[in-house]
Amino acid sequence: MSEAQRRAVESHRRHLRQQGLDRFEVRGLESDKGLLRAVARRLASGDAASVDLRTRIEATVGPTPNARGGIMSALRRSPLVGADLNLTRGTTSGRDVDL
């Protein structure tokens, strides 16, 4: 890539970031490429249809992997909640070792 091309790409990406857009790569089937581009284009538009689409996709796909509190919610669903277990350990002075 020439220096002019590199500057043009950097300028274009900087312009996208100023608009609140970001580039990322996804892996998928070749046949889904057009669909994924259309979804990304719709989500990037920022209109009411994009908000509706985002809500429906999130409801279908589920919570994001970065959602906080996932471990705590799993522990709260545990069957051992409220089982009144005694998990304290006794202390000992150790054992004598014959060297």
Domain extent at residue 50: 3-61
Mean predicted confidence (pLDDT) in 59-84: 80
Q: Is residue 85 part of a domain?
A: no
Measured CA distances, 93 to 87, 88, 90 (Å):
20, 16, 10
Q: Is residue 40 part of a domain?
A: yes
pLDDT at 5 over 90: yes
Tokens of 84: 């009144």
Number of structural domains (the chain) is 1
Q: What's the rounded Cα separation, in Å, for the pair 87 and 35?
A: 53
Q: Is residue 22 part of a domain?
A: yes
Q: Is residue 81 part of a domain?
A: no
How far the first Cα of the chain sits from its last, in Å, is: 70
Q: Is residue 25 part of a domain?
A: yes
Q: Is residue 70 part of a domain?
A: no
Question: What is the DSSP track for 69-91?
Answer: THHHHHHHTSTTTT---------
pTM above 0.85, yes or no: no
Q: Is residue 87 part of a domain?
A: no
pLDDT at 93 over 90: no
Q: Is residue 91 part of a domain?
A: no
Length of the chain: 99
